[in-house]
Structure 1
Amino acid sequence: MNLSATQTPPSTIYTCLSKSASPNNNRNRRLLEIRPLRYASTKDKTGMGIAALTATTMRDRSKNRKPLQRGRNLSIEAIQTVQALKRANNNNNDVDKESSLEHVFDSKVRRLLKLDMIAVLRELLRQNECLLALKVFEDIRKEYWYKPQVSVYAEIITALGSNRLLKKVDCLFIELKRESSLEPDIQCFNALFESLLTFNSTKLAMEAFYFMKSIGGEPDKSTFTILIKGLESNGETSVSAILRREAQKYYGESLSLLDEEEEMAMS
């Protein structure tokens, strides 16, 4: 019997790779493959209309999605949010600026997914929009999924200090000390010490050191090296002497190891 596209409406035929597959038999279980088959009107060599079956296999597009990556691979929503924040922040009228920023936060920032919010924060820091980044961070801290990390504080403090916004640094450090369930990540604390000493915040660096110890962080050799070198370069020899004595409690008389590490770093 001849079939034509005008006589037979499109239909879908479902085929099974294995009819004998049992859900309880893991060894013989096979996936079902759905292949929609549609009639298409074509012509053979004689010019007569015939029905041809065109098979289309449905594919899972989620397998083609690339994994989320850190860095500058921002989603469209994150890019649009960064642009909207910068536009609102460029308003010369302070009242209009606050109103515009609040509108962007309500309509865009607070609707972002977790990874997108963090990506927006880091992109603003990268673009040296540290005050905008600080506002985003304040909102992030209100999210249910927020978990305090020293590394994030260190990044923001570094950006603020680089722009000589030292009062903002003081305020943010107070918030850091108020965080509960903060993990004493020694490597991140070392980065924080280095940043604080770079813009000569000796007092905060020492406060951060004793705060780290108060939450269970044990200073390593890098900790003492960073602090002692930074303090001495800032002319704080009396404070560095205190740290050298404290280092002796951890490493005994092997303080020469600090000097050896310094020589290795310079070579």
Structure 2
Amino acid sequence: MNSPLRCYLPFPKTLAATAGRPCLVELPARSCELGHSWTSMPLRPVHTMRDRSKNRRPLQKGRNLSIEAIQTVHSLKLSKNDEVLRGRVFETKVRRLIKADMVAVLRELLRQDECLLAVQVFDDVRKEYWYKPQVLLYTEIIAALLRNGMIEGAQVLFSMMKTEICEADDEGLNSLVQTLMLFNMPGTGMECFQLMKKVGSEPDKSTFRALVNHMNAKGEFDVSLRLRREAEKQFGVPWEFLIAEEET
């Protein structure tokens, strides 16, 4: 039987306190069962590779994951329906990884759409001494959550990000706005757009175009007009020329 996977996210209003951890939030787990089958041998059981990989997406060719990272990903997936076992995996494997391997595990879980496990790994990443907030990493996680229909979880992550980002990051924030627009979240996209201006980042042409198109589609023509005028002021050319440049 599948049970909700608890993901630890230090976001006060939506999370409940739990013993030994700061906070947790329960997000609905996708129905996913790991198939096992064991064959008996005279001395020890043998786990067949065919059965073990039955419901597992293969590692992408060319991805540089260490043996430790690959083993950690596999152990986490095996433990996702067992909270006690999952805690043991975090203690004995995840928290012993070096920085590169821990981030690689996080990204591989996202690639395999194991979003709830990835969020819990990210919570541990944020506790490491070497951690520095990166908008692009937040964007990857938010995109994976939205891709899997976890809108509330994506909003929690965005709220967390806003408390950590205090410096300009043009590439990361433009990417995040466009990701939010792609998944039809214009309200959060506009909130991110305002955050860009607050920290001194400059929206690029693709960001303006995505926002204007969504505002027009929703009938928010006043907002669309303000965005067009802001883009014209920033780039020094009429909106029609900006659109033509983007299309070419």
TM-score (normalizing by structure 2): 0.70
**Aligned pairs, number:** 188
Superposed displacement of residue 254, structure 1: 2.3
- Among 183, 204, 211, the residue aligned to 2:195: 211
Residue identity opposite 1:204 in structure 2:
T
- Within 5 Å, which residues of 2 pair with 1:38-49? none
Q: Which has the larger radius of gyration?
A: 1
Identity of aligned residues (%): 53
Would the aligned equivalents of 2:206 and 2:246 in 1 still touch at CA under 8 Å? no
**Uncovered stretches (5+) of structure 2, i.e. residues with no partner:** 1-61
- Mean Cα displacement is larger for which, 188-197 or 249-258? 249-258
**Pairing 1:44-193 to 2, within 5 Å after superposition:** 72-89=63-80, 91=81, 97-180=82-165, 182-193=166-177
Q: Give the deviation of 1:198 after TM superposition.
A: 1.6
* Separation in 2, partners of 1:98, 1:241: 51
- Verify the 8 A CA contact 1:158 1:195 in the aligned structure 2: yes
Partner of 1:18: none
**One-letter code aligned to 2:145:** L
2:184 paired with 1:200: yes
- Mapped to 2, the partners of 1:130 and 1:235 lie a distance apart of 33
Matched, 1:250 2:234: yes
Give the Cα–Cα distance (whole angstroms) in 2 for the partners of residues 76 and 151 of structure 1.
Answer: 26
Deviation (angstroms), 1:136? 0.6
Q: How far, CA to CA, are the matches of 1:236 and 1:154 in structure 2?
A: 26
Q: 1:229 to 1:157 in 2, by over 3 A?
A: same
Aligned mates of 1:236, 1:100 — CA distance in 2:
50
Cα deviation code 1:67-105 (max 9, x no counterpart)? xxxx6211010001000000001x3xxxxx222211111
| Displacement after TM superposition at 1:252 (Å) | 4.1
Matches within 5 A, 1:2-13: none
Structure number with the bigger relative contact order (C-alpha 8 A, sep ≥ 6) is 2
> In structure 2, what is the Cα distance between the partners aligned to 1:210 and 1:192?
12
Q: Larger deviation: 212-221 or 99-108? A: 212-221
Deviations 1:178-206 (A, max 9, x none): 005x4422122222112111221111000
Who is 1:16 aligned against?
Answer: none
